[in-house]
Amino acid sequence: MDRHSLFFEQTMIELETFPLILQHNWLANEVIHSIKSTPYSNTIIKKNFEPTLLKVSPILRICKFLRVTNKNDVTVILADSTHRILAYFPFIPTVVDFENKYCQRITYHTINNLIDIKRANLRFINTNDLERDYGFKESRNLSIAILEVLEFELYQRDPISFTSDVENKITFVYDDLRYEELCKSDVNLQFDDLMESAIAG
């Protein structure tokens, strides 16, 4: 089966299960592929994280804003058509650039907007930062990967609403069995403080 036929078949399956036409199911596969290809030597899993396994645009939905960190970074939950991931917008450059460009707060009426990721890194976060900045406590001894979004554009400004049944089908990438097999360890990895060294060149 050629790439175009595979893409069409996957799109039809997604539309039958997840009625969100403007997004595709790429996030979990790309996260897992990136982790498989990277040694656990530092926090950065992959710079310039983007779809490579399928020719699709890196469109994600802003599901929920979580917290503002002590560095004024904004933590958030993003999602494609089937999976969610923890992410954050660094105050510099992301928040400042967005608010200068759109003349509004990054949190103002952007919940359930679609965004086009222009530049992002995939990186691990340590357990202390995870609980402090996300309110997320991992009890399965999983190393948690998050998305550091350095630049994005609003793709669709009209909020997209879902029934609770559809929302409940969109699970975290960390619940994927392939992710658990890759990232579970007897002792959860302790990385350097993420938010102290977040600016990526």
**pLDDT, averaged in runs of 10, over the chain (201 residues):** 47 45 81 86 85 84 96 97 96 98 96 95 94 92 95 88 81 95 65 47 45
Phi and psi based region of residue 150 (left: phi greater than 0; alpha: psi -120 to 50; beta: remaining): alpha
pLDDT of residue 56: 81
Across-strand partners of 133?
none
pLDDT of residue 50: 85
Question: For residue 184, what is the DSSP state?
Answer: B
Q: Residue 156: what residue type?
A: Q
CB 171, CB 84: distance < 8 Å: yes
Q: Peptide bond before 93: cis, by omega within 30 degrees of 0?
A: yes
How is residue 124 written in tokens? Answer: 């691990």
pLDDT of residue 161: 75
CB atoms within 10 A of CB 39: 6
Q: Which residue, among 100, 107, 53, 99, has the nearest Cα to 80 in the 3D structure?
A: 53
pLDDT of residue 19: 46
User: To the nearest 5 percent, what fractions of the chain are helix, strand and coil?
Assistant: 30, 25, 40
Backbone angles phi, psi at 155, to 5 degrees: -95, -40
Question: For residue 105, what is the DSSP state?
Answer: -
pLDDT of residue 167: 82
CB 154, CB 94: distance < 8 Å: no
CA separation, residue 201 to residues 65, 93, 100, 145, 156 (Å): 25, 11, 21, 19, 28
The residues near 106 (Cβ < 8 Å, ≥ 6 apart) are: 74, 89, 94, 95, 98, 99
The rounded distance, in Å, linking the Cα atoms of 77 and 83 is: 10
Q: Residue 186: what residue type?
A: D
Q: How many CA atoms lie within 13 A of 157 on its CB side?
A: 7
